[in-house]
Amino acid sequence: MVLITSITKRIHLPDIANTRAESGEKLERSIWSFRHFALGVVAIFFYVGTEVAIGANINLHAFEWEEYRQRILNDLSKYFGIEENFERLTIVKGGRKVLSIAGESLELLWEEQLMMIIKAKVVVEEN
């Protein structure tokens, strides 16, 4: 901040004609009389309001999604006798050839993924 302040303080910009009021003089037009300025202020107001509202409510959407997913899993278990659980599995994503002094070898590229494991519950019927 100090660096930017010192740099901008040393820059000498020309004074634009008819932009400053002399002592006791009143300018002909207010800054609010410029349509682009006024509409720009309104647009920035709504843009910032929308950005803040989205940031404040996106976590609510994530919690609703989690509750919805849990209801589906409960229904699968209740009505269809399906048992489900989530596991983090490590899988091979790919491979690439590596050249070394000993010769050519294959390097495997690994990736972790969250997987849903679904199993049918075992039902034992007695005769």
Q: Is 3 inside a domain boundary?
A: no
Domain that holds residue 68: 33-80
Q: Is 52 inside a domain boundary?
A: yes
Half-sphere exposure of 101 (CA within 13 A, CB side): 0
Q: Is 89 inside a domain boundary?
A: yes
Kindly state whether residues 53 and 39 are assigned to the same domain.
yes
| pLDDT value for 43 | 97
pLDDT in tens, 22-54: 777 777 778 888 899 999 999 999 999 999 998
Kindly state whether residues 75 and 47 are assigned to the same domain.
yes
Q: Is 20 inside a domain boundary?
A: no
Kindly state whether residues 57 and 38 are assigned to the same domain.
yes
Domain count, the chain: 2
| pLDDT value for 125 | 63
pLDDT along the chain (127 residues), means of 10: 90 78 76 92 96 85 77 81 77 81 80 78 63
Kindly state whether residues 37 and 67 are assigned to the same domain.
yes
What is the distance between the alpha carbons of residues 86 and 47, in angstroms, rounded to a whole number? Answer: 39
Tokens describing residue 115? 């997987």
**In this structure, are residues 96 and 74 in contact, taking their beta carbons and an 8 Å threshold?**
no
pTM of the model: 0.39
